[in-house]
Amino acid sequence: MIKPAIRTRTCLLLTCLTLLAACSAIKLGYNNSASFAHTYLTSKVDFDSEQSAFLKTSLNEIVEWHRNTELPVLASELQTARQALAARNDVVMPVSANQVQALNLAIRASLRRTANQAAPVIAKNMLGLWPNQAPDIQKALDKSNKEYR
């Protein structure tokens, strides 16, 4: 029979390892998001080498902007949320609807800023497409919309 103390330590160790793995996966995904996006997009549209290189550069620019500009803002918002959720004198106080709404609005604003930053970069890439590539994009969008429905 396993002693309760050993069982508790084992559970804590497994929980810590799971959290560490999840954090590592998120970091790995974020750090490689431009490559993942490039691979996904090139699987949908047959880009020539010049278009592909421009796309990769554009995606890296967006991720760098996000890392340098938007990520610190999000980190600050999450720190505010963390402080609101922290126990004071071993008492956890419920968060208010206003606090939840403030975080929601901050995240929405971040998404809006990111979209506004990415839109011109996306437009530049779209202007570099050949007319025969438009049907490929339309097929990919139609397929994605059908799967979403």
Least confident of 22-31, 87-96, 100-109, 134-143: 22-31
Eight-state DSSP code of residue 131: G
Is residue 138 a part of any domain in this protein?
no
- For residues 43 and 16, the model is more confident at 43
Asked if residue 13 belongs to a domain, the reply is no
Position 3 in a domain: no
Its domain, for residue 124, covers: 47-131
Number of structural domains the chain divides into: 1
Residue 124 lies in a domain: yes
CA–CA gap between residue 18 and residue 27 (Å, rounded): 14
The closest of 101, 116, 105, 100 to 74, measured between CA atoms, is: 105
Examine residue 87 and state whether it is found in any structural domain, yes or no: yes
Is the pTM for the entire model greater than 0.85? no
Is the pLDDT at 81 greater than 90? The verdict is no
pLDDT digits (tens, 9 = 90+) for 33-58: 899 899 988 888 889 999 999 999 99
The answer to whether residue 121 sits within a structural domain is yes
Tokens 């506004």 belong to 116
